[in-house]
Structure 1
Amino acid sequence: MLIGIYHGKKSPFDVQRYEILYTLTARAKMEGDEIIIFDNSGVDLENETICGHVRKDGIWIKEKTLFPEVIINVSPPSAKDRTEIEKSLRKKIPFTKNLIHDKLGFYVLMNKTGKYTKYLIPTKKVDSIKTIEEFINNYQTVIIKPSKGRQGKGVIYIEKKKDHYLLIKDQGKKHLHKKEFIKFANKLIAKKYLVQKYVYCRTEEGFPFDFRIVTQRDGKGNWVLATSYARIGKDRSLVTANISRGGMVANFKHTLIKELGLKKADKYEEYIQQLALNISKHVNKLYKHEIDELGVDIAVDNNENIWLFEVNTGPSNSTIQWETTPNKLAYAKYLAYLNRINKLKKVDKIISNIVKGLVQIEDDLENGNLEKAVNLTPSLLKGFSSIDRTIMSFTTEPNTNIYDSTNKIREGFSNLVYAYENSNLANAKETVDYQLVPNFQELSSKIQEILRENEHC
Structure 2
Amino acid sequence: MPTPKIDVQVISSGVMADDVLMLGESVMKQAKIPAQQHLVLQFGSFKQSVTVVSVPRYDGLRISHSLARRMGIQTGTPLRMQYRQATRTLSLGPVIGVLVSREYPQQPDKPFGSITMFCRELVTACRNQGAFVYFFTPDGIGGQGGNVEGWVYQSGWHKTTLPAPDVVNNRLTSRKLENRPSVQKFLGEIKQRHGAQVFNEKFLDKSEVFSALKTDASLQRYLPDSHSLLNYTMLKSMCSRYPVVFLKPVRGSLGKGIIRLSRAGQEGWQASFTTTGGAKRQTYPNLLKLFSAISGKMKTVRYLIQQGLTLIDAGGRPIDFRALTQKNATGKWTVTSIVGRTAGNQHYVSNLARGGTLATVRDSVAKSNLPLASRKDASARLHRAALDISRGIETHIPAHFGELGIDLALDTSGRIWLLEVNSKPSKNDNTPLNEGKIRPSVRMMIQYARYLSGF
* TM-score (normalised: structure 2): 0.68
Whether the aligned pair in 2 keeps the contact of 1:219 and 1:330 (CA below 8 Å) is: yes
- Structure 1 residues 85 and 11: CA distance shift in structure 2, 3 A: farther
CA–CA separation in structure 1 for the residues paired with 2:103 and 2:450: 22
Q: 1:89 aligns with which of 187, 190, 205?
A: 190
What letter corresponds to residue 53 of structure 1 in structure 2? W
What letter corresponds to residue 314 of structure 2 in structure 1? E
Match of 1:251? 360
1:34 matches 2:132: yes
CA–CA separation in structure 2 for the residues paired with 1:261 and 1:137: 29
Structure 1: gaps spanning 5 or more residues: 339-457
Whether the aligned pair in 1 keeps the contact of 2:143 and 2:149 (CA below 8 Å) is: no
SS of equivalent to 2:380: helix
What letter corresponds to residue 215 of structure 1 in structure 2? T
| 1:176, distance to aligned residue in structure 2 (A) | 2.1
| Cα deviations by residue, 1:104-139 (Å, 9 ceiling, x for unpaired) | 121111112222112210111111112112211211
Structure showing greater radius of gyration is 1
Match of 2:220? 117
CA–CA separation in structure 2 for the residues paired with 1:288 and 1:146: 22
Match of 1:228? 338
Match of 1:197? 307
Aligned CA-pair RMSD: 2.5
CA–CA separation in structure 1 for the residues paired with 2:120 and 2:321: 27
Match of 1:3? 96
SS of equivalent to 1:165: strand
| 1:80, distance to aligned residue in structure 2 (A) | 5.5
SS of equivalent to 1:17: helix
CA–CA separation in structure 1 for the residues paired with 2:186 and 2:126: 26
| 1:15, distance to aligned residue in structure 2 (A) | 8.1
CA–CA separation in structure 2 for the residues paired with 1:15 and 1:70: 23
Match of 2:257? 154
Comparing 266-275 and 174-183, the one that deviates more? 174-183
1:294 matches 2:401: no
CA–CA separation in structure 1 for the residues paired with 2:404 and 2:166: 23
Structure 2: gaps spanning 5 or more residues: 1-92, 105-110, 434-438
Whether the aligned pair in 1 keeps the contact of 2:142 and 2:186 (CA below 8 Å) is: no
Q: 1:25 aligns with which of 118, 123, 147?
A: 123
What letter corresponds to residue 313 of structure 1 in structure 2? S
- Structure 1 residues 204 and 4: CA distance shift in structure 2, 3 A: closer
Q: 2:283 aligns with which of 157, 170, 175?
A: 175
SS of equivalent to 1:36: strand
Q: 1:328 aligns with which of 433, 440, 445?
A: 445
What letter corresponds to residue 154 of structure 1 in structure 2? G
Match of 1:306? 416
CA–CA separation in structure 1 for the residues paired with 2:138 and 2:344: 40
| Cα deviations by residue, 1:351-407 (Å, 9 ceiling, x for unpaired) | xxxxxxxxxxxxxxxxxxxxxxxxxxxxxxxxxxxxxxxxxxxxxxxxxxxxxxxxx
CA–CA separation in structure 1 for the residues paired with 2:179 and 2:298: 24
Pairwise mapping of residues 60-99 of structure 1 onto structure 2 (< 5 A)?
A: 60-75=157-172, 77=175, 81-83=180-182, 84-91=185-192, 92=194, 93-99=196-202
Match of 2:7? none
Comparing 25-34 and 10-19, the one that deviates more? 10-19
CA–CA separation in structure 2 for the residues paired with 1:188 and 1:41: 33
CA–CA separation in structure 1 for the residues paired with 2:102 and 2:191: 18
| 1:103, distance to aligned residue in structure 2 (A) | 0.7
Whether the aligned pair in 1 keeps the contact of 2:324 and 2:404 (CA below 8 Å) is: yes
What letter corresponds to residue 290 of structure 2 in structure 1? F
| Cα deviations by residue, 1:288-318 (Å, 9 ceiling, x for unpaired) | 4331011221111122222111222122322
CA–CA separation in structure 2 for the residues paired with 1:317 and 1:239: 23
| 1:147, distance to aligned residue in structure 2 (A) | 0.8
What letter corresponds to residue 132 of structure 1 in structure 2? L
Match of 2:205? 102
Which has more strand, going by share of residues?
2
What letter corresponds to residue 447 of structure 2 in structure 1? A
CA–CA separation in structure 1 for the residues paired with 2:162 and 2:138: 14
Which has more helix, going by share of residues?
1
* TM-score (normalised: structure 1): 0.68
- Structure 1 residues 335 and 36: CA distance shift in structure 2, 3 A: same
CA–CA separation in structure 2 for the residues paired with 1:82 and 1:122: 36
Match of 2:148? 50
SS of equivalent to 1:115: helix
CA–CA separation in structure 2 for the residues paired with 1:302 and 1:225: 24
CA–CA separation in structure 2 for the residues paired with 1:196 and 1:161: 19
CA–CA separation in structure 2 for the residues paired with 1:254 and 1:156: 29
| 1:142, distance to aligned residue in structure 2 (A) | 0.9
| 1:16, distance to aligned residue in structure 2 (A) | 6.8
Percent of residue pairs identical: 21
